Chains A and B, each alone.
Chain A
Amino acid sequence: MTHVASDRAWTTQVDWGRLAPLRLRARTVAEGVYAGAHRSRRRGPGVEFGGHREYVPGDDLRWIDRHALMRHDRLMVREFETETDRALHLLVDATASMSYRGTRGAGAKVAFAALIAASLARIALTSGDPVSLSWIGGTGARPVGATSGGEAFERIVRALSEINATGDAHRHRQVFERTLAPIARRARRGAVIVLLSDLIDLPEESREQFTALGTAGRRLVAVQVLDPDELDLPFEGTVRLRALEGEAVVETEPALTRARYVAAMDELSRTWASSLAARGGRLVRAATDADPIDLVGQVLRAVAEGTS
């Protein structure tokens, strides 16, 4: 039987579960991930030719290769290897829906997202790349500007530890846009933007707003953090479900509706994945009972794929 905490507990305190303490867990994860020295290979404006790639809207028209256009009748952009900014911008969803934790999850979704964020920050800071932290919703959410000093990891971990998942992004639609605006201004070519969210209850336009950041050489990765219960709707008998954001209430018999629910969830992920792919981004789906080391590895690979 699925354990469910009281309704109010979901929105006031983060259930860290097996993910605490965050600092140690993040270090362990980061050390588990191979993050050795790497070249800051970024393709973009520079002096050394780095190859061609397909033109995507937003590319600088100056780099369109006319010869390739005439030869292959396709718009191709010339790229050059260059040392670029490797700033990591972490965007963590701390709305109420992220406070959910079922019996199978290691902790609340926001806790799991915080662990992944801290681990990525640790890896990035170890490589000397600056890291920033921004929040969607949440109380006690203190954003952290791009920083790469010795104190940076501690500041980020402290900010992640103090978060409480509250707020309704579905109702307050401007929250997401307001969070993205500073990132769009500050992130330069080569910057990596990682969104950690369940992608549930976000406004319809949030997908376009986020993928719009994928221009100008910025790399996008969305990590969809879901509780195992949200993957397979394991309840039995007739249940009455209430959304954590919005007013949706549904009475259903999972035995009869499970297949359609799973299909709807897959469709949500597929929509985000295709939108991201159109901008060179990637979607990584993560269950909170998954191994965080593997997941961080997947995120890094997704970043690398977007870079190549």
Chain B
Amino acid sequence: MSFVTWAALAAILLVIAPVAAHLLRRRRAEQRPFAPTAIVPASPPAARRRSKLEDRALFAIRALAIVALALLGATPLVRCSRLSLGRKAGASVALAVVIDDSLSMRAPGPGKRTRFETAKGDAVDLLTNAREGDALGVILAGAPARVLLSPTTDLGAASKVIESCAVSDRATDLDGALALARASLRDLPHADKRIVVLTDRADGHSDSTPIGDGIDLPVWVPQHGQQPEAGDCAVIRAERRQTTLAVRVACSGSAPARGRSLEARAQGRAVASKPLPPFDDAPVTGADISLELKADGERVDEIRLVGPADSIPDDDFAPVGSTSSNLAIAVVAEQGSSSIATGGPPAVEQALEALETGAVVRPLPVAPETADELAAYMAIVIDDPPGLTPEARRALTAWLDKGGVALLAIGPRAASAPIGSSLEPFLLSAPRWETSAPAGIDVASATILGPSADGLAELHPRGRGQFENGPRSGLQPLVKWSDGAPLLVRRTVGRGTAYTVSLPLAADQSDLVVRPAFLAMLDLVVDHARARGSSRRIEVGASWSFDDARSLEARDQRGLVAVELIEGRKRIAPSIAGRYDLHIDGVSESRFAMVPERELDLRVRPVSEVATRAELGGTTSSIDISRYVAFALLALLACEMIARGWMAFRERG
């Protein structure tokens, strides 16, 4: 600080002036002789007390006024430690603030605040530092990354949005958030565009490229010194199977699990417990643990980790659900014709396993013919069936009406179904089999399959199915052959969806099953099944979809959960782990959101050197607080006037 600053601050010493005046004034009154003293009344004690109080109030006001004056003289040279943005020649800045709201941000950060509180405080500092003309957007990095506020010059709106930010139990998607931030800044006219990433960098990709590399905009990752070392164990899920509780626990290394045990609780009371087994030192290790209950009917509300505390206590418990909460997928495929030459189960089963969806894949010999059989499954894949019996058709229709998702693959057998058999509710008319097929699909029509659709540009099947695709068929083409015929169509049945692909899933009939696009197709079906609510247990960040629900209400432990309407579809995206009680068209059911296991990897991702450069900003800057001090000074003067008025009023009274 300069001499002027020191001199101005030294004026604070003048605060002793009113103290000295006060002491002098309060010194014992000088004694003087006076003959008729005996008849002089002493001052009433109450009056003296009042005088004391008034003196103190005035003294405090004057002392504060002197301090305020000294600070006013010292500003704007007073330096406050807060996050601030460096500017290039004072130009306006377009800023995309990425706030990490993932589970790991619940861990303690530097100081006494959590990592998320620190990040939120940084965002507020940046907002305070913004000027008129600056644009500011907010992107949340909890998976899936999402834009909370597109860059706007309305800083008031930005302030409200930042204030409303809350930490979640999501995984981290820093790359997605950076891509969104870059896209949100792309069309802005500002010459100076930047991305600020407020994160603990624990996104489970510690070996990935440093944050800030590979992005054509300046990325700034503010550093707050060394973060406290964190370790965490979480109860991922807990399911009950009669007298057994199957619990999945994941830990970031072995240390957080040491000395801890699992406890099953009913109404806050422990009914069973078991110590945690030793965990590996791997970044994230999971273990499936079974707890035996004494009786089948014994009530259990939650599973909780007890013992030494870890960095994130919020994920140390999970509600108990039933086994049926799992996603189960039925596969109807003929073992002989659908199997591949390398052996093993049919290709579709292997593909579903390869997707690592966590779903239970169950092969069935024939399509179920009762609704009760189908009720155990959330999705069904039927490969080249020789038609569907009337019982199977009725069961499938009823099951789809309630929200099921099914995929039918048409092959030579399906096209030659016996009389009385049809493929309703997938197709309203009978398909036919052609022995020739165009060499590939129309890639432009296959955006639903993502980048892998390019691999289908050259497809060499032995034949293909053909079916009526008119407006009355109710079919929505999703992927087309190069000649315009449908390869993949979708039909809505009640609350459910029926997909039909015009190729069989046998490797000897077409090369579709060995293309990455096939995995994308299955992933589409499984995701749809999960989103439709077919899965009662999803990871935080995924969502449940309720396409045809007329009334929908959801509650978690905090209260009502917002129902989002995306592209005309009702969705619920849980942001915290736990139980969700849903009321869908008058029917109640419980669903569960789990902590993403990968989020327990608390290793820190490196930061690019360019993302920490001093010209981007810093944590210390010169802040002009003179207007606040001036306001305080005015307020003090008003206080003194009020105090004096009050004293005069009391004296007159």
Contacts and interface: CB of A to CB of B under 8 A. Distances in A.
Interface of A: 4, 7, 10, 97-98, 100, 109, 198, 200-201, 227, 229-230, 233, 235, 237-246, 248-253, 256-257, 260-261, 264-265, 268
B30 interface: yes
A229 B34 CA distance: 9
A242 B33 contact: yes
Interface string B195-213: 0000000000000000000
Interface residues of B, number: 19
Interface in B1-45: 28-44
A233 B39 CA distance: 11
B40 A244 contact: no
Contacts of A98: 35
Contacts of B191: none
B47 interface: yes
A239 B32 contact: yes
B43 A238 contact: yes
A242 B43 contact: no
B35 A251 contact: no
A100 B35 CA distance: 7
Given A237-B29, A239-B29, A230 B35 contact: yes
Contacts of A237: 29
B36 A265 contact: yes
Contact of B32 (A200, A242, A248, A264): A242
B481 to A, nearest CB: 107
A256 B47 contact: yes
Contacts of B39: 200, 261, 264-265, 268
Contact of A240 (B28, B35, B41): B28
B304 to A, nearest CB: 69
A233 B34 CA distance: 10
Contacts of B38: 200-201, 243, 246, 248
Nearest to B32: A4
Contacts of B36: 97, 198, 200, 230, 243, 261, 265
Contacts of B33: 4, 7, 10, 100, 241-244
Nearest to B44: A256
Interface of B: 28-44, 47-48
B32 A253 contact: no
Contacts of A249: 31, 37
B606 to A, nearest CB: 74
B42 A257 contact: yes
Most buried by A among B30, B31, B36, B41: B36
B37 A250 contact: yes
Nearest to A257: B41
Given A239-B30, A253-B43, A248 B35 contact: no
A75 B596 CA distance: 122
Nearest to A5: B33
Contact of B42 (A235, A244, A252, A265): A252
B37 A241 contact: yes
B123 to A, nearest CB: 58
Nearest to B28: A240
B31 A198 contact: no
A253 B47 contact: yes
Contacts of B30: 239-240
16 contacts: A97-B35, A227-B35, A230-B35, A241-B34, A242-B32, A243-B35, A244-B34, A244-B35, A244-B37, A245-B35, A249-B37, A253-B43, A253-B47, A257-B40, A261-B40, A268-B39
Nearest to A8: B33
Nearest to A109: B35
A250 B32 contact: no
B40 A252 contact: yes
A4 B47 CA distance: 27
Contacts of A198: 35-36
Contacts of B35: 97-98, 100, 109, 198, 200-201, 227, 230, 243-245
Contacts of A233: 40
A265 B37 CA distance: 11
A227 to B, nearest CB: 8
Contacts of B31: 240-242, 249
A229 B40 CA distance: 12
Given A240-B32, A245-B35, A252-B42, 15 more contacts: A10-B33, A97-B36, A200-B36, A200-B39, A230-B35, A238-B29, A239-B30, A240-B28, A240-B29, A241-B33, A243-B34, A244-B37, A249-B37, A250-B37, A261-B36
